[in-house]
A = this chain, B = another copy of it.
Amino acid sequence: MLDIAILGLLMERDHHGYEIRTQLRDRLGLGVNVSFGSIYPALARLEREGSVEAVAPSEPRLGSLSTGSLSGERASLRSRRGTPGLGRRGRKVYRITERGRQEFVERLANPSTVDDGRNFSLRMALARHLTPNRRVTLLERRRADLVERLEELRAGTRNPQLDGYARSVMEHAAQSVELDLAWIDQLLTTERSTPQPFARDAK
């Protein structure tokens, strides 16, 4: 799961580990803390598989000139350039490979197992890398899952064994699923009525 998130970020430009964490928070819905304990191993794994490669610290970062908005890192770069060893601050910058791109689109479109909310949000946040057909397929699958889940929760709410607290939890969970459903439906409507919903690169 993390793999897709990381590859998705690297589709746009090169990143180093720490930056991936912040981007995960700020750009993809993955709010609360994806820990370093998962990010660094994930990067190592992806590198081992040949989906990403480490960029030598002196090499310019792809797209950094155009996108360039990473405050105050070019200055320190210049000032320390020339010192051998680990490059500035020991950063390791990763770049996605062609193999990585293929892996990414393949895995983004084909959830191996049923997505939970987090996974689905991640997929949607990266949805512009999907074809319109794929998007609709994913949305419909998610919709079906949510409908099923909602019925389970409603049935659960009627369980006489529950005390007030447990029932309240169930009812709230059901409301939450209803909100999710409304969101999905809205996305589906947009997707079906508009030729290029949110524009960009979906090929």
Contact = CB atoms under 8 A, between A and B. Distances in A.
A149 interface: yes
A40 interface: no
A136 interface: no
Contacts of A125: 165-166, 169
Instruction: Say whether chain A's binding surface is mostly helix, strand, loop, or mixed.
Output: helix
A43 B175 CA distance: 32
Contact of A124 (B29, B124, B159, B169): B169
A105 B166 CA distance: 17
A48 interface: no
Given A26-B159, A197-B164, A198-B163, A31 B121 contact: no
Given A125-B169, A175-B179, A200 B163 contact: yes
Interface string A163-203: 11110111011011001100100010000000001111000
B32 A149 contact: yes
